[in-house]
Structure 1
């Protein structure tokens, strides 16, 4: 068999002192990820450099750590150039040093993520006890908001219309008030039944629902917007409904105007967003909802609940808009600015910051070793003498190394690509295009094939992955049997070599299968724990709903049914009295519900952000499908949200298929910004600053694929 040598003893004076430490610097990180022994005869200086780079990647964010790795590479190449090494040797030193530094950087980053995962898991487990309680509180707040918006709106209308008819004493107005009391009372009963039922939620209001609401109240109404996101139409409907209810209470007899229009690009929503600071809606023209009245008299004293505008402001803020309410002319004006277009698509951050950074670091290492070591050889192969002869070697080295970048995402395709590159290398060797021979290349660099065999076991289904070690052994045996050192029957040699290579190939594949089974057990245990937690939360929500339903049945629900019965019997005064009693009962229930907040810390999850925001006076806008995320993403999102919260701002939490994105106002304290960046970096995410003084944090959710 041909002997492949990197001659470090026969080179010119001074080369051995440089090349040997650089090779050790490259060889040490190769051993570390696969658990092999430290390289015998390691030189202290390059090992110390690797340790320092690893520690830098563990304790610093990706940028400074990457800068450190680049500095080591440049210093090594600069040192080679300074002592007069030829250009090919300088290039070899740069490649090998860069490969070692890349792996030291990537392994440090992996440890940094593991530390963040452990810390997040501890916090998550400690906080899960509060999940059922805060799920019940969230359901309580939802029901309280719907009670105020729905039942109070209906009962207020009944009291106002009945009072006006009784004051006038007109039979026609009395009959109309009775019909209204029957219709509105029945609707209120149905809505209360829905609220106290098995958790069915009302559909999101549309622009057509706003049209119907305006027609019901017979107001001056105009709409010039044809479409808007569901969050904006829902908020607009609630603004109009609350404003009309308040006008009926406090401006009886006034002319009311409702406008739903598109804001101008130069003002409207954008102007409101600028004036209210960062964290507001970004984008083009906005949706403007305006409800005005020209003043009037108070229809009935004591009809308000005291929570209307505060709850409405939270709804508008959560939709990404702004709300203003106050005197306007002789009456009152309520104006909401809402986004009329969907928020811009989330940015996708570079994958090299995440767990796949180790995969691409292995690519760098493989290229560095295959090309760099050859360039450092005392007898530089003919394939590197000149540009055109070097092209096949460079291309095949790249083809053999790049599939390592697919190691965790597409291990099957990566394995096929590596073996194809090895076969191409063998073909070029047979026609005399390559030096050194492919047999020597395979002996030194078949850790690439072994790495992909491990990945196939770790990330592919068992039946499909069994082909990987067999393919590595067969193709590897063919590469070795094609060497010039093989004499005699090459077919027999191929069979023997294949059997020999199959032992380590199946060993690393088995290690990958063990890792896959362990990962599966951990995920199954986490899923089971989350299922149990969801059951407890659902039970707490059902219990909260039962308690509120019991309170409603004793008070508001009973009074609302009495309203319908009295109106059907033609007793308008009784219907009015029962409607007022129902409003009083609702007000007392809402006050009682909102006065039960505890001092517990919300659970460190994405769902807990909303509960935390109420304590900071921050509005939270949640978009995207809500689904469970890994503990590190849940806890990191919660901690980052806590650092972004401040009174009067809006924080947007966007749930996506591959992670969570948070955006809000940029903290004024540079130390807080550094902590934000470090926390995002530890999970493989990033932090960026928008043009309006806001920050956007991306926390990726990484689940390597097990099928292709």
Structure 2
């Protein structure tokens, strides 16, 4: 299909040219067409077709090839390249779409100079050659403007596709990342505890006859370790209760809710979220929240009962976020707690995860003991505005957002009236440049302020009547400016339909533009002296002509508005689909991460916590064999859950994880080995 798209237009263009010449001449038995000329025409058609076929991959080479073919066809009759001349415009359009602006600025003038040289060699009159050169320049500028607009559209689609691909990648990694994080937590919090209970109980059972005191110590150790394991698992389950919807909430609300949850677990957090940072959402806010959550988890594990200060600041200028979490060290006495050395069983993965989140956004992260007292401090600096956004902020406000396509369209529209004046009255060309440029200049901002541009274009349309009224312009020059300048109104109407808003709110522009043009032409007629026909009903005639001219202007204005509205509708459909796909992907990532937490929390409550509670109960009852059996069963359930998390190879495949867990539960090989 792609190859067909490359060759279809060049083949069609060549077929039309060959059917016109030499096909028509051969059918009419034109003696001027010989075998040599026919062969040359076929060779030129083949070369031009091959050149245009590579316009998407090598646009500059295609444009130069087409121009070289046209120059080589100069000895042939003028009809031999009549249709082929369109190939230059097609190739230039491809250059404008697929090449940088600097390349377009070089290739465009080169093609224009070559075309001007062809005009001088083909045409007999210098005036005709100059006129054709001006027409070619206008056509080239128009094509360049259309091509740059298409390039901007394609760049936006590629950017949206990259954003969607990034979101898809994040979605694919969301559940996997959550599984890895939770697996580390489960291993650090519980696996060591339950393993030590099994080892201690087995040793006491083997040596109980020779060292009876080991039994009492093992029972006490099992009770303490079981309580610690139960408390740690309850804390982990509480952290996994965050709903999927909460992850789309503002940063300030989420941090406040998180700190309240940790306060119920024994910490004493103090939260300060700056007003600029409170409403933040998106990747930066998500990273800041994750760092706060991980820092509080570490404080709860290593310094239970401590006071924790959380500061989240943001700079409105660039959107950066600074996160600081400090604790004052482990509490001296925590009811039901364990010694500090026992609290520090983590593997240091939490700090690594926080650093990875910060560096993934281009930020910085530091963690270590506080220099101003006891405790631990975590600080992260997360950038907000991207480099592209900062670059867009550079430059004058009025020139922001303009590119080559805007200038090309405005210059082409300004050239048309000047060309019309050159044809009609060459000596007045310099005088016509001012009104023509002033009339087309507002089109530079047609995307940003289409209604204001339309009003400015309609207002500057009165420059021709005013110039005629004050004797600065002749009637012929003023009429040329007004007639050819109507293209500016058409472009402005298209801009209103394409950029001003929904069609239901912009349709009056057709009547507004038609009425504005009628009034300007009426003023031109008045300045030309038509009001002297009062004895023949001149005023009534003018009103009648106004209605007729307005009715004549209305269909083309409706056509341009309809084209703009159709383009806007298509653009909105494409962007709506992109936004929907991106939102769905992001929400899917949030939901999958939440599903992992929910599923693992259910498994913990249903299996591991039950065995951990049973370990405490057996220890308090003095049943050392039961302690060993329950600890072994809890450790087996924990290992089953960890194995299910690690065996899922497809990121985000929560169903596979659930199936793996179920299979291990029902399999006789699911016991501890």
- Normalised to the residue count of structure 1, the TM-score between the two structures is 0.51
Q: Which moved more, 1:60-69 or 1:590-599?
A: 590-599
SS in 2 for 1:433: coil
Report whether the alignment pairs 1:190 with 2:232.
no
Q: In the alignment, which of 370, 374, 380 is matched to residue 427 of structure 2? A: 380
From the superposition, tell whether residues 585 and 565 of structure 1 become closer, same or farther in structure 2 (CA, over 3 Å): closer
From the superposition, tell whether residues 68 and 430 of structure 1 become closer, same or farther in structure 2 (CA, over 3 Å): same
From the superposition, tell whether residues 53 and 524 of structure 1 become closer, same or farther in structure 2 (CA, over 3 Å): closer
From the superposition, tell whether residues 585 and 466 of structure 1 become closer, same or farther in structure 2 (CA, over 3 Å): farther
Matches within 5 A, 1:92-131: 99-112=138-151
Partner of 1:499: 548
Cα displacement string for residues 642-692 of structure 1 (whole angstroms, at most 9, x for unaligned residues): xxxxxxxxxxxxxxxxxxxxxxxxxxxxxxxxxxxxxxxxxxxxxxxxxxx
Deviation of 1:364 (Å): 0.8
Partner of 1:478: 522
Deviation of 1:64 (Å): 0.5
Query: How many residue pairs were aligned?
Result: 504
Q: In the alignment, which of 420, 427, 431 is matched to residue 470 of structure 2? A: 431
Partner of 2:108: 69
Q: Which runs of 5+ in 1 are unaligned?
A: 1-39, 81-87, 263-281, 327-332, 385-389, 602-708
- Please identify which structure carries the higher helix content: 2
Q: Is the 8 A contact 1:453 1:469 kept in 2?
A: yes
From the superposition, tell whether residues 177 and 62 of structure 1 become closer, same or farther in structure 2 (CA, over 3 Å): same
SS in 1 for 2:141: helix
Partner of 2:490: 450
Matches within 5 A, 1:507-656: 507-513=556-562, 516-517=565-566, 519-520=568-569, 523-524=572-573, 527=576, 549-550=598-599, 552-556=601-605, 558-560=607-609, 571=620, 585=637, 588-598=640-650
SS in 1 for 2:380: strand
Alpha-carbon distance in structure 2 between the residues aligned to 1:93 and 1:353: 35
Q: Is the 8 A contact 1:54 1:107 kept in 2?
A: yes
Cα displacement string for residues 107-143 of structure 1 (whole angstroms, at most 9, x for unaligned residues): 333455677789999x99xx99x99998475245346
From the superposition, tell whether residues 458 and 58 of structure 1 become closer, same or farther in structure 2 (CA, over 3 Å): closer
Instruction: Compare relative contact order (CA 8 Å, sep 6+) and give the higher one, 1 or 2.
Output: 1
Partner of 2:360: 318
Cα displacement string for residues 50-72 of structure 1 (whole angstroms, at most 9, x for unaligned residues): 45533422442222112323556
Q: CA RMSD in A?
A: 6.8
- Please identify which structure carries the higher strand content: 1
Deviation of 1:182 (Å): 7.4
Matches within 5 A, 1:28-67: 50-67=89-106
Matches within 5 A, 1:108-507: 108-112=147-151, 135=171, 138-139=174-175, 141-142=177-178, 145=181, 148=184, 186-192=234-240, 194-195=241-242, 200-201=246-247, 230=285, 233-234=288-289, 236-237=291-292, 240=295, 299=342, 311-321=353-363, 338-339=380-381, 342-343=384-385, 346-348=390-392, 357-371=404-418, 374=421, 379-381=426-428, 384=430, 394-435=433-474, 437-459=477-499, 460=501, 461-462=503-504, 463-482=507-526, 484=528, 486=530, 489-507=538-556
SS in 2 for 1:414: helix
Alpha-carbon distance in structure 1 between the residues aligned to 2:622 and 2:461: 93
Q: Is the 8 A contact 1:76 1:97 kept in 2?
A: yes
From the superposition, tell whether residues 546 and 525 of structure 1 become closer, same or farther in structure 2 (CA, over 3 Å): same
Cα displacement string for residues 6-30 of structure 1 (whole angstroms, at most 9, x for unaligned residues): xxxxxxxxxxxxxxxxxxxxxxxxx
